[in-house]
Structure 1
Amino acid sequence: MTTSPAPSDPPVKAWHIWLWPTLLVVLAFAMWLLPWGQWVPLLRDWVEGHGTLGTVVFLAVYVIVVILPLPAAAMSVVGGLAFGWWGYPLSMAGSLLGAIAPYYISRRWMRGPVMRRLDGPKVRAADRAIADNGFVFVMLLRLTPILPFTAQNWFLGLTAIRPWPYFVATALGLAPGTLAMVWIGEMGGLASVSSDRTQILIAGGGLLAFGVFVIWLGRIATREMERAGLTAPRRRR
């Protein structure tokens, strides 16, 4: 089995894995500080009043945000605010649809010139190693916020990873983080429609438990990236 050589200056640091949980805590705390009580009812009334059009508009905006260098995670929070738990499948659909164009454009028109410019034994070996382990590589990249989601899509198009591993691994890798962002939005929706305290506490407790799950996934991803030589091994005492 072909393996890529461990780089001397690893592009991934172990602390990167904690970015997701930290972002989760910051956004959850922000939900209690912003005046959602006035905004969310208006947003949900607009969505309900426009039916299918509201869903199409949300998906279209989500796709544009993913293609452009804009924070896609914020759209997942908006999905939770506007659609409740239905925001989860809609946000996943928006992420996957938005990941199509950058990948194919990069693969079709950019990969050839870039590979010719960077051609060399190390680059070819790394490209083969990534292609041989494409599914795992994409999923770990989606789980660890090393690069912004949009940058990941353009970068992965430059590799030899095939379309099906790219899309399936993207869906699996995005699922936990997207759920967390929609969950935060749903909590903001609960707080804005005067839900009882018990319901909000249950939602907050569930989010906390899910945050622990995200950290656990991150630790697994860290170990796997260490084995692949993409992150510096943690020193043992």
Structure 2
Amino acid sequence: MNKIKKSTWIKIGVLAAIILVYFFVEPVNSTVKQLFALFSKMDVNAIKEYILGFGIWAPVISFFLMVFQSVAAPLPAFLITFANAGLFGWIKGAILSWASAMAGATLCFYIAKLYGRKTVEKLTGKFALDNVDSFFDRYGNYAILIARLLPFMSFDIVSYAAGLTSMSFWSFFWATGLGQLPATLIYSYVGGMLVGGVKKFVFGLLLLFSLSILIFLIKKVWNEKKAKQIN
């Protein structure tokens, strides 16, 4: 009982400390508001300019920016992935985006495990989490791959939802790592070409949607084939 009470008080203390820092430390409050405004623009160039403004610390800022958007779901991660590819080259950008997205996904998973559904609902919204719950129930581990491939579906809410299930961390970690790798490479490659404005941006999104549909169809055909073999 003492251990349970101690862990509970630690969780409450950490949460209270974060809330107090946000509301009463002005630099933190203003930075968080600035980041939400930045993401709301849906502008890759604005993200790139923000990251570049930190000079040699740009990769570190990009890393923490990805982690921030993970926790503050459903902010769009693909903007950072595109920006990383444009700033650091598509290979180095892909490595940075993949590593930081893994860190963000892990954090989301453990927040859900430690604080439960009510806290997650406050971070993501009840309606959004309910939708992802049904999506997760239907596709299981495939949900991680499909969600990562779709540009406008929050991969981070899927990470939160996974933390609310009985899935072990390592099952989640490997599924996440493998599931997001091809998408990160594709995003980064497309992001490296996004220097010509809206046309290439739209082309990139269409390419991603096409690949998403292709993977979904391959999975469906494969499952149907296995079902026929069993019958």
User: What's the TM-score bracket when you normalise by the shorter of the two chains?
Assistant: 0.5 to 0.7
3-state DSSP class of the match of 1:187? coil
Change (3 A) 1:148 1:135: closer
- Aligned-pair Cα RMSD in Å: 4.6
- Does structure 1 retain, via aligned residues, the 8 Å contact 2:141–2:175? yes
Q: Is contact 2:51–2:58 with CA below 8 Å preserved after alignment?
A: no
What's the CA shift for 1:215?
3.9
Residue 52 of structure 2 is aligned to residue 54 of structure 1: no
CA displacement 1:70-103 (0-9 Å, x = unmatched): 1111111111111112110111111111111211
Determine if the alignment matches structure 1 residue 152 to structure 2 residue 150: no
Q: 1:173 aligns with which of 170, 176, 179?
A: 179
State the partner residue of 1:80: 85
Please give the TM-score of this superposition, normalised by the length of structure 2.
0.54
User: Among residues 61, 65, 68, which one is paired with 2:69 in the alignment?
Assistant: 65
Quickly say closer, same or farther: Cα 1:142–1:160, change in 2 above 3 A.
Answer: farther
Residues 35 and 45 of structure 1, relative CA distance in 2, 3 Å threshold = closer
Q: CA deviation at 1:217?
A: 1.5
Alpha-carbon displacement from aligned partner over 1:119-150 (angstroms, at most 9, x marks no partner): xxxxxxx9xx97xx965554455456794112
User: For residues 72 and 105 of structure 2, what CA distance do their matches in structure 1 show?
Assistant: 11
**How many residues align structurally?**
163
TM-score by length of 1: 0.52
Query: Measured at CA, do residues 89 and 224 of structure 1 come closer, stay the same or move farther in structure 2, by a change above 3 Å?
Result: same
| Alpha carbons of structure 1 residues 67 and 58: separation in structure 2 relative to 1, 3 Å | same
Within 5 Å, which residues of 2 pair with 1:187-198? 187-189=193-195
Which protein has the bigger helix share?
2
Counterparts of 1:133-144 in structure 2, within 5 Å, are: 135-136=141-142, 138-143=144-149
Aligned counterparts, 1:1-150, within 5 A: 49-50=55-56, 53-69=57-73, 70-85=75-90, 86-110=92-116, 135-136=141-142, 138-143=144-149, 147-150=153-156
Report whether the alignment pairs 1:218 with 2:223: no
Contact 2:82 2:188 in 1 (8 A): yes
Task: Name the % identity.
Answer: 26
SS of the counterpart of 1:79? helix
Judge conservation of contact 1:143–1:218 (CA < 8 Å) in 2. Answer: no
The question of whether the paired residues in 2 share the 8 Å contact of 1:140 and 1:225 is answered with: no
Deviation at 1:225, TM superposition (A): 7.9
Provide closer, same or farther for how the CA distance between residues 109 and 45 of structure 1 changes in structure 2, counting only shifts above 3 A: closer
The alpha-carbon distance between structure 1 residues 105 and 167, as it changes in their structure 2 partners (threshold 3 A), is same
Distance 1:145 1:224 in 2: 24
Q: RCO higher in 1 or 2 (8 Å CA, sep ≥ 6)?
A: 1
Q: Give 1:216 deviation, angstroms.
A: 2.5
